[in-house]
Structure 1
Amino acid sequence: MQIKPLEQQDWSAWQAIYEEAFPIAERFDFEELVNLTHENAKIHLSKLVENDQLVGLLCHVDLSDQKGFILYFATQAQQRGRGLGGKALAAMKELYPAGFILESELTETTAENETQRQARFRFYERNGVKASDTISHNMGGDFHLMRSTTDIDSNHYLEAIDMFGIVAKLSKVESK
């Protein structure tokens, strides 16, 4: 699996995956994302490539000390279940060896997609991306902050989302 910069000829394929994978409430306008990458060299739109074929997308932020934030990550719907997501996470760990942080929808809810939320959460955990003790409330949703190492934390997350103009309220996970 390779992470490569998004090229203009791939915009429509990237955008199709993006719109299929993320609900409107959690999406930026595609052109706004492109503009953000032009305004801030730390923000990247990338494609996930396997066997010279675009199989997924990544929107990510470079932070200091080889750390990063993953805003959007998805594989094409018809490519799911083939181990590509695990390969993509391994590539992200190479890209950000000191750690990356991402959001995963809150689980144990009454949401219509609760089964999918739990599956995504377990997928991240199986691939070494563990839940932190922090929940982010932003863009109308609630998200577990998950990270690939303990060297990255909610302060890195807040630094990254600020680049997108996202405002979040953070809370600690309640003990059971």
Structure 2
Amino acid sequence: MHFLPITEPHPYLNTIQTWYEDSFPVDERRDFADLVTLLPCPDMHLCALLDTPHQLVGFIIYWQWSDILFVEHFAIDPTKRGQQFGQQALEQLVRMAYTYLILEVERPEDELSQRRVRFYERQGFTLNLFDYFQPPYQLGNTPIPMRLMSTPAITNHEDFERFSQLIKTQVYERFYRR
């Protein structure tokens, strides 16, 4: 598994856009044109996931700060799911330098969201039970009830609040159009 950083317009972006828009509801993602404007952002990483030097199998968008790596979006080509590409990508992320690796998941209230949580748990993540709401991508929209998963587990509420605030200000509110 190879992570190919995309920091400027690239031919893979057309396929990534399709997977991005098909995999995430409109209120749980940015407009893709807005995402493309963030490519030069030094703390945001959009990576094409390649199985062979030129075989695109997915993408991941993550933010990296001093001790935290936050996965904003992660998807595998629907025709390649079940072939362990997601597991391989997460294994590579886990080997990166950070104190906490954090991602958002829908609350496990139906079979699909429960399966997603179990997938991440098999990769070593813990479902943190503190209340969390994904901030809206557009100013004025409603936050979405979710959960944070992390490795290692976030065990105290102070750290959870600090991480939640960092994500809110650096991933969401920082890019609101006024």
TM-score bracket, shorter-length normalisation: 0.7 to 0.9
Say whether the 8 Å CA contact 2:69–2:98 is kept in structure 1: no
Mean Cα displacement is larger for which, 16-25 or 130-139?
A: 130-139
One-letter code aligned to 2:124: G
* Identity value in percent: 29
Which residue, out of 138, 148, 154, partners 2:151?
Answer: 148
Distance 1:96 1:56 in 2: 22
Residues 127-164 of structure 1 show CA distances to partners (whole Å, capped at 9, x for unaligned) of 10111232321334221100022479532342133223
What residue ranges of structure 2 are gaps of 5+ in the alignment? 137-142
Distance 2:171 2:154 in 1: 22
Cα RMSD, aligned residues only: 2.1
CA displacement at 1:63 relative to structure 2:
1.1
Alignment of 1:47-58 (within 5 A): 47-52=48-53, 53-58=55-60
Distance 1:61 1:36 in 2: 11
Mean Cα displacement is larger for which, 71-80 or 42-51?
A: 42-51
- TM-score for the superposition, normalised by structure 2: 0.81
One-letter code aligned to 1:135: D
Distance 1:161 1:75 in 2: 25
CA displacement at 1:70 relative to structure 2:
0.4
Task: Tell me how many residue pairs correspond in the alignment.
Answer: 160
Which residue, out of 147, 154, 158, partners 2:165?
Answer: 158
Distance 1:157 1:70 in 2: 13
Say whether the 8 Å CA contact 2:66–2:98 is kept in structure 1: no
Which residue, out of 119, 122, 143, partners 2:118?
Answer: 122
CA displacement at 1:99 relative to structure 2:
2.7
Distance 1:128 1:166 in 2: 29
Give the ranges of 4+ consecutive aligned residues of structure 1 lying more than 4 Å apart after TM superposition.
none
Task: Find the counterpart in structure 1 of residue 77 from structure 2.
Answer: 76
Residues 61-96 of structure 1 show CA distances to partners (whole Å, capped at 9, x for unaligned) of 01103x310000111111111111111110111124
- TM-score for the superposition, normalised by structure 1: 0.82
